[in-house]
Structure 1
Amino acid sequence: MAERARRFACQTFTWEMLGDGWTGGPDDLVEAIAAAGYEGIEITDTMIGHYADRPDAFANRLDEAGLALAAFAYGSDGGFSEPDRAEADYEACRRWSDFAARFPGAVLSMGSATAMSDGPRADKIGRAADIYNRSGEIARAAGVQLALHPSSHENTLLFDKADYDRIFALLDERIDWVPDTGHILRGGQDIGETLSDFAHRIRYVHLKDVTADGTWAMLGAGVCDVPAVLAAASAAPRFNGWIVVEEESDEAGRDPEAAVRRNFETMHALKRA
């Protein structure tokens, strides 16, 4: 199989994790990511700012910067697992599906199911699957592809391989997956096995690194076998070519712009190797 052309995008969570320490806006993110050399951006519902109801204006801003919208990511106050929050989850899906539909090829990424209350884990994963499946219908009706992004953050319901096996067995086959290398490794998974088992769902990749003990690290400074991940993604039948580089290390917390620029340089050094 011929290798698909890969394009590098940057995820805005690197700035989002600063919390109140970040005082900029979406235009600053676009400027920094374009200046670093990336071709695309994945922005979140919490960082889209004054463009939230102005997709045409955001499209124009991206065009000016020479960027494409690779994906739009959103989360849920109900963790995509609480029945009494499901309608709010569906309304958010409608809103962001309509936004993403303005950008041909952009993927709508749903965050990880998270435990927001007590109760059996398996039951919560089952309810999350119902919410993901209904959201997939909503997105497809808007002409947008939906993908699931599991994480290893606090109270996640999608942490280890058993969780991945459970959720994917319950999901509509038309729902895609955003494998996140850092979260997979932090979940103690064999990344090659996980990528292989669910290769048919891979739409794009979140690429980041961790040390052997699960501490976030700059790309190339941890244990992630980046060339192997890129090869696995390129062989996946639904892979759209986007490698979205994301950074959560302490170094990024000190200087996000420098961190994403360094990661871009790391990726190009690997490409030349």
Structure 2
Amino acid sequence: MAAQRLACQTFTWEMLGDSWTGGPDDLVDAIAAAGYEGIEITDTMIGHYSDRPDAFAKRLDTAGLRLAAFAYGSDGGFSEPDQAEADYEACRKWADFASRFPGAVLSMGSATAMSEGARPDKISIAADIYNRSAKIARAAGVDLALHPSSHENTLLFDKADYDRIFALLDDAVGWVPDTGHILRGGQDLLGTLGDFDQRIRYVHLKDVTVDGTWAMLGAGVCDVPAVLAAASQAPRFNGWIVVEEESDEAGRDPADAVRRNFETMRALT
């Protein structure tokens, strides 16, 4: 059983859009100051380290952080055949980057509908892209995992979507269950975790209210202790619990929000 470790996802700052004027060093400083052991950073937030993995590794070492995961998205939503080659090229680039960090997982974003077409057909295309990407990542010595979401036009929203995509994926494709997105999709959280526990690599932890509104950790309906217990039983879970925040509080002050979430996690565990 892997020892559980807390990391922080930088999408919390990404939500600020153009009003965010900082950079990756500011993210590292804020996350380290809050007490986390690790960081999950995205392709849009890596900034001037995008082609300098050794420099980023040194920066993390100085801050006392580890790279838990690197997440990236796609202009084609991982569902457009004519953009699949661009998706594979992005996978090569970021798998090479992540390979500099032992144990870091490469996280692919949720398949998203970018054009008209039948939903099952688009999910099938996405499965092909995920499967080939996992082979590319594995060639670089990196595990790859899928991160479904509940955001606009996602193709991976409810349990039927999860059943469909996972039935099409090779065993090499892992899963990053996101508690907030699972709950917003109307799913039974613990049931979904149990159904696909063989694929769990690490966990995204965030909270929502009963009506699906994003909430600070512990202020919504997510049963955090039960999630941690379920994750600990997953055979390929690597121990990383990655806290992410999308509530209004985070929009006002991301650094304070992630610090408060760290304190909540310490109180719960």
Question: Normalising TM by the smaller chain, what interval?
Answer: over 0.9
- TM-score with structure 2 setting the length: 1.00
Q: Give the structure 1 partner of residue 144 of structure 2.
A: 146
- Structure 2's unaligned 5+ residue stretches are none
- TM-score with structure 1 setting the length: 0.98
Picking from 112, 117, 120, the partner of 1:119 is 117
Q: Give the structure 1 partner of residue 245 of structure 2.
A: 247
AA in 2 matched with 1:82: E
Q: CA deviation at 1:27?
A: 0.2
Q: Give the structure 1 partner of residue 49 of structure 2.
A: 51
Q: Give the structure 1 partner of residue 229 of structure 2.
A: 231
AA in 2 matched with 1:4: A
Mapping 1:88-237, distance limit 5 Å: 88-237=86-235
Q: CA deviation at 1:174?
A: 1.3
Q: CA deviation at 1:120?
A: 0.2
Q: Give the structure 2 partner of residue 72 of structure 1.
A: 70
- Supply the distance in 1 between the matched residues of 2:104 and 2:244 (Cα, whole angstroms): 17
Size of the aligned set, in residue pairs, is 269
AA in 1 matched with 2:50: A
Task: Let me know the Cα RMSD of the aligned residues.
Answer: 0.4
- Supply the distance in 2 between the matched residues of 1:252 and 1:174 (Cα, whole angstroms): 34
* Superposed CA offset, 1:151-189 (max 9, x none): 000000000000000000000011110000000000000
- Supply the distance in 2 between the matched residues of 1:246 and 1:16 (Cα, whole angstroms): 11
SS at match of 2:177: coil
AA in 2 matched with 1:100: A
Q: CA deviation at 1:4?
A: 3.1
**Superposition misfits of 4+ residues, deviation over 2 angstroms:** none
Q: CA deviation at 1:45?
A: 0.0
